[in-house]
Amino acid sequence: MRRLDRGLAGVEVAASWLSALALFAIMWIVGIDVGMRYLLNRPFGWSYDVISLYVIVALFFLALSRTFAVNGHINVDLLHHVLPRRGRYACEVVICALSAAFFAVLTKAGADRAIEAYQAGDVLAGSYPWPTWASIAFMPLGAGLLTLRLVLSGTCHAVSLATGREVLALPAIAGSAEAIAQRGFE
């Protein structure tokens, strides 16, 4: 399981680097477009489409799995303060199973839609014929990575629940000394 976790973490890190690159691209495209607009009166005609169609979608979906892996998502852990360790493991198993099922459906629907858009040659109507399948493909890619992460985390928590041996550490409870040490704030 640790080998699977390390392998998936490597893919997640690569996806999160692409997500960071997307954020960097947004800043540069917008900055240069503003300069072109106000200094030379020649704005980019394609910047809004590229950013809204591709770059923001990549930024969001490619960061999903890594964000979950490092416990960066918003988490409602009101009951975790009063639950015993085994209860927390049980909650994590249920949360991961339900979330994995949802994101698996999302992955399948997104992949089907991207393939359909590719086969149909769908393009955005406008000044430039941007292919829509490339934008749609980021969603099943990110949701698929998150599905794999959720299945792996849920399995690890189930093994921990069954054996009593910690396979994967539980997420830190907000406000706890552990959470503050991990993030430096809370």
**How far is residue 50 CA from its own chain's centroid?**
20
pTM: 0.86
User: What pLDDT shows up at residue 31?
Assistant: 95
pLDDT, averaged in runs of 10, over the chain (186 residues): 83 91 95 94 89 94 92 76 89 95 98 97 87 94 96 95 89 67 56
Burial pattern 45-80, b for ≥16 Cβ within 10 A else e, equals eebebbbebbbbbbbebbbbbbebbeeeeeeebeeb
Q: Under DSSP, is residue 164 helix (H, G, I), strand (E, B) or coil?
A: coil
User: What pLDDT shows up at residue 184?
Assistant: 52
Cβ-proximal residues to 112 (8 Å cutoff; 6+ apart), any chain:
none
User: What pLDDT shows up at residue 174?
Assistant: 67
Question: What region does 42 belong to: left with phi over 0, alpha with psi -120 to 50, or beta?
Answer: beta
User: What pLDDT shows up at residue 186?
Assistant: 46
User: What pLDDT shows up at residue 176?
Assistant: 64
User: What pLDDT shows up at residue 7?
Assistant: 86
Q: Are 102 and 143 in contact (CB under 8 A)?
A: no
